[in-house]
Chains A and B, each alone.
Chain A
Amino acid sequence: MITKMRRKLIQFKERGLYIAPADTYIDPWRPVDRAVITHGHSDHARRGHKAYLCHHDSVNILKYRLGDDIKVEGVAYEQVIDINGVKISLHPAGHIIGSAQIRVEYKGEIWVVTGDYKIEDDGLATAYEPVKCQHFITECTFGLPVFKWKTQDIIINEINEWWSENVSLGRPSVLSSYALGKAQRVINSVNHDIGPILTHGAVENTNEVLRNSGIAIKDTIRVTLETDKSLFNKALIIATGSGINSSWLNKFKNASIGIASGWMMMRGARRRRAADRGFVFSDHADWTGLNDAIKSTGAEYIYPTHGYTNVFSQWLNEQGYIASPVETEYEGEVVE
């Protein structure tokens, strides 16, 4: 007797995660006709697709990063789109502004693709919400039990203290973080009474895009040739990873360099970058967060992507899930 294996609703293809009955991809890494995008980071929102679908808050980000001429449609969280009988909806992922988990339902089967996500409400991105499903494709960038985050308040306090100390020593504080997401998270949470916040061009451009979309980002000053240099020693200067590795940094004599990243949990990663300070500050779920998120979906089938996928899958299998790692081209959190 021949039993026919039912095809998976979401398949792992050359070009990305493919919803066959809807002929639609999620975060594809090669050009396709129709792409649903979880969020605006460049390893998830790539160039060259004929049509993009994403959350309203991501629309301007995608246009800014991929070009004004892209064909992009914005939807609200939980708004259901029907394509050939496949119900697709976006749900808050808490990773950055506009980030979404993608829920896909077809003939009673429910899949969720997380993109990147974090559990803690950062006050800027719409907070993560668990979505019930049977199949859960989850990132696991920090899927090892050594990664456990402290709360945002504690880390922001550390940043404030470091910045204040630098001000008292008369030296600039340069903080490296992602231009989209973490930078604004820092800008909106640190104590602006300490001094002004200056920004690298890549960060400020993103700030402008978000402000123009009606998102409240606190005051910042773009660093240009005309910027009053006397501000430097009092300022928190938000840079990108590539910014702190370039001659741009030479503007700020005697600066203390900080890096905000989950990888700063590991001393080796911190020392490799020759940074003065590492702040363990991530837009991804930590070990506890990943495990709690998986549990709250009620899913039986788990597909860990980008991260320590083999190790994490083995762990999940021992916990009674049916887990298998999936190769993707997402990068998770990168420090340069």
Chain B
Amino acid sequence: MKSFAALFQELDRTTKTTAKVKSLAKYFDKASDTDKIWTIALFTHRRPKRNVKTSLLREWAAEQAGIPLWLFEESYHIVGDLAEAISLIIEDGSEESEKSLTSYIHELINLKDQDEAAKKEYVLQAWQSMNQAERFLFNKLLTGGFRIGVSSKLIVKALSKSTGQEENVISHRLMGNWDPATTTFEELILSESGLDEISKPYPFYLAYAIEDDPATLGNTSDWQAEHKWDGIRGQVILRQGEIFVWSRGEELVTDKYPEYEKLKDYLTDNIVIDGEILAYKAGKPLPFNVLQKRIGRKKVGKKLLNDCPVILMAYDLLEYDGQDIRTKATSERRAVLESILKDVPQEIPIRLSPVIAFSNWEELKHIRAQSRELDCEGLMLKRKSSEYKIGRKKGDWWKWKVDPMNVDAVMLYAQRGHGRRANLFTDFTFAVHNEEGDLVPFAKAYSGLTDKEFKEITAWVKKNTRERFGPVCSVNPELVFELAFEGIAESTRHKSGIALRFPRILRWRKDKNINEINTLTDLKKLLTK
């Protein structure tokens, strides 16, 4: 654990990518193969299963520190990170353990079948045998998403530096369903063939939002335009008669979308399709909030399948006849995709994302303006000659979204943030007036302001708190903000009766007061549009 903690400290002490890559590469040069595998796994979100409930960890930490649980909870809200709060509240023991990262992870995995008393004894003993930095990382292993400011991109760069292999190759090798407990570093990274795994997806190519006028992109004939579908990105793999569906978050979601099983019977084998998982009925996409009902569900019942059926809106082909074709031009890949989908009957849940014909940019602007009527988010522009790249890259793929909708609302609740926003009030609930003139909360937002503004608001919240509910404060309804959002839908789950899509703060309207905010009626008018 000591060398992993030292690595973490180095990474945490710099904001410079080159320095981070250097530290990681140095670590990969020295670490044992199992430590390497687990380090890669942790930084690519393959954490071991959680075997201790966090509520127990809180109790044990408070008990060990000799403080009441409520005081631990208050401290945690202010620190903004459970693993860190526990690491700070526990005092260093007298002896430090030299156990490796791998040993700790194995021990944590083995906790699974033990009773609560044994778990407690193990965890308390471990806390005592570490310094604060190690305790923090150990708690991160115990508690949840191992998000500590290292992207998988950095890992790829560092592994490339350490092993001399190309980044593209490493990036692909790290994808998919490999299990750090049974995979060796040799198999994953070094061997000629890599893991021969039929479910392995390709890294997604992601588009940047276009900032300039699209006319700056040059000739319209060089570009392919499509609708930007309002679903979730997915990759469908058909290999050796089996189907695998991956989400963009590298999650295998085959079981969540059983409709796609049918594709096996109608599509040619050994292909990989990139597209949008889209709720779709009667020849039309359904709003995103319909799909949302399925995203979280592991098991899908008949009713859900019937109410929210999905299709794959296919827009790219990455593998054909078992061959990786990502380096071929977009236009070529498109032609093959079209030929594959040509004779697929209507009842099969796959559609070809149509190419939009346009002769000049002005015309395309008009088409974009109608996106909302089609339940689309806007347009996608792809350079016809471009290959399929890895990750978010500028130049060849652009998303051109419709302008967001706006509303002026007043802040009603404020909550402290997490991570680098710890101890600042950054998460806000906003309200508008209903017909009776009462304030109704309708949206939460926590992005869009600068650190300086958060600091100013934090000072204001402290002076204007009406009531405290744990980490949440209700505040005097005075501060007005302009919110932007992508869509609006009816909702029975919210008191306001509406749910916004991706609300965020556009600006703090210091020039407005509570009498100048929008009303619920204003918002509901947008529903019918």
One of A148, A269, A311 near B423 (C-beta < 8 A): A269
A-contacting 9-mer, from B49-57, B82-90, B217-225, B430-438? B82-90
A145-B67, A146-B88, A311-B71 are contacts. A268–B79 as well, Cβ < 8 Å? yes
B68-106: CB near A (< 8 Å → 1, else 0) gives: 101110110011110011001101000000000000000
- A258-312 CB contacts (< 8 Å) to partner B: 265-269, 271-272, 274, 276-277, 308, 310-311
Cβ–Cβ contact B421 & A145, under 8 A: no
One of A148, A267, A274 near B81 (C-beta < 8 A): A267
Contacts of A274 in B (CB 8 A): 15
Alpha-carbon distance between A298 and B180 when the two chains are bound, in angstroms? 58
Contacts of A145 in B (CB 8 A): 65, 67, 71-72, 75, 89
Alpha-carbon distance between A311 and B418 when the two chains are bound, in angstroms? 19
Cβ–Cβ contact A308 & B78, under 8 A: yes
Interface membership of B114, Cβ < 8 A: no
A171 → chain B closest CB, angstroms: 12
B387 → chain A closest CB, angstroms: 36
Cβ–Cβ contact A318 & B68, under 8 A: yes
Alpha-carbon distance between A269 and B458 when the two chains are bound, in angstroms? 14
One of B13, B14, B149, B422 near A266 (C-beta < 8 A): B422
Alpha-carbon distance between A315 and B72 when the two chains are bound, in angstroms? 11
Contacts of B393 in A (CB 8 A): none
Interface membership of B516, Cβ < 8 A: no
Interface membership of B322, Cβ < 8 A: no
Cβ–Cβ contact B423 & A268, under 8 A: yes
Interface membership of A144, Cβ < 8 A: yes
| A271, A272, A276, A310 pick with most chain B CB within 10 angstroms | A272
A276-B13, A308-B78 are contacts. A146–B85 as well, Cβ < 8 Å? yes
One of A148, A266, A310, A318 near B84 (C-beta < 8 A): A266
Alpha-carbon distance between A145 and B78 when the two chains are bound, in angstroms? 11
Alpha-carbon distance between A265 and B78 when the two chains are bound, in angstroms? 12
B323 → chain A closest CB, angstroms: 44
One of B14, B68, B420 near A268 (C-beta < 8 A): B420
Interface membership of B187, Cβ < 8 A: no
Cβ–Cβ contact A310 & B468, under 8 A: yes
A157 → chain B closest CB, angstroms: 15
Interface membership of B490, Cβ < 8 A: no
Cβ–Cβ contact A276 & B14, under 8 A: yes
Cβ–Cβ contact B422 & A269, under 8 A: yes
Contacts of B251 in A (CB 8 A): none
Cβ–Cβ contact A144 & B421, under 8 A: no
Contacts of B420 in A (CB 8 A): 267-268, 271-272
Nearest A residue to B68, CB-CB: A318
Q: How many A-B residue pairs have CB under 8 A?
A: 69
Alpha-carbon distance between A265 and B84 when the two chains are bound, in angstroms? 10
Nearest B residue to A278, CB-CB: B13
Cβ–Cβ contact A271 & B149, under 8 A: yes
Nearest B residue to A311, CB-CB: B74
Interface membership of B419, Cβ < 8 A: yes
Contacts of B91 in A (CB 8 A): 148
Cβ–Cβ contact B422 & A268, under 8 A: yes
Alpha-carbon distance between A277 and B19 when the two chains are bound, in angstroms? 14
Alpha-carbon distance between A268 and B76 when the two chains are bound, in angstroms? 12
Contacts of A318 in B (CB 8 A): 68
Alpha-carbon distance between A318 and B74 when the two chains are bound, in angstroms? 15
Alpha-carbon distance between A269 and B451 when the two chains are bound, in angstroms? 11
A144-B74, A144-B78, A146-B75 are contacts. A268–B13 as well, Cβ < 8 Å? no
A301 → chain B closest CB, angstroms: 21
One of A148, A266, A271, A276 near B79 (C-beta < 8 A): A266
Alpha-carbon distance between A116 and B380 when the two chains are bound, in angstroms? 59
Interface membership of B12, Cβ < 8 A: yes
Alpha-carbon distance between A172 and B79 when the two chains are bound, in angstroms? 31
A125-166: CB near B (< 8 Å → 1, else 0) gives: 000000000000000000011111000000000000000000
Alpha-carbon distance between A147 and B88 when the two chains are bound, in angstroms? 8
Contacts of B68 in A (CB 8 A): 315, 318
Contacts of B72 in A (CB 8 A): 145
Contacts of A277 in B (CB 8 A): 13
Alpha-carbon distance between A268 and B13 when the two chains are bound, in angstroms? 12
B387-420: CB near A (< 8 Å → 1, else 0) gives: 0000000000000000000000000000001111
Alpha-carbon distance between A272 and B422 when the two chains are bound, in angstroms? 9
Contacts of B419 in A (CB 8 A): 267-268, 271
Nearest A residue to B136, CB-CB: A267
Cβ–Cβ contact B421 & A272, under 8 A: yes
Nearest B residue to A271, CB-CB: B420
- B113-164 CB contacts (< 8 Å) to partner A: 136, 149
| B13, B14, B65, B417 pick with most chain A CB within 10 angstroms | B13
Shortest beta-carbon contacts, A-B, top 5: A268-B422, A146-B88, A271-B420, A311-B74, A144-B75
Task: Write the residues of chain B forming the contact surface with A, with a CB cutoff of 8 angstroms.
Answer: 12-15, 65, 67-68, 70-72, 74-75, 78-81, 84-85, 88-89, 91, 136, 149, 417-424, 451, 468
Give 11 CB contacts A-B under 8 Å. A145-B75, A265-B88, A266-B422, A266-B423, A268-B80, A268-B419, A269-B422, A271-B12, A310-B468, A314-B71, A315-B67
Known: A265-B88, A271-B12. 5 other contacts (CB 8 A): A145-B89, A268-B422, A269-B422, A311-B74, A318-B68
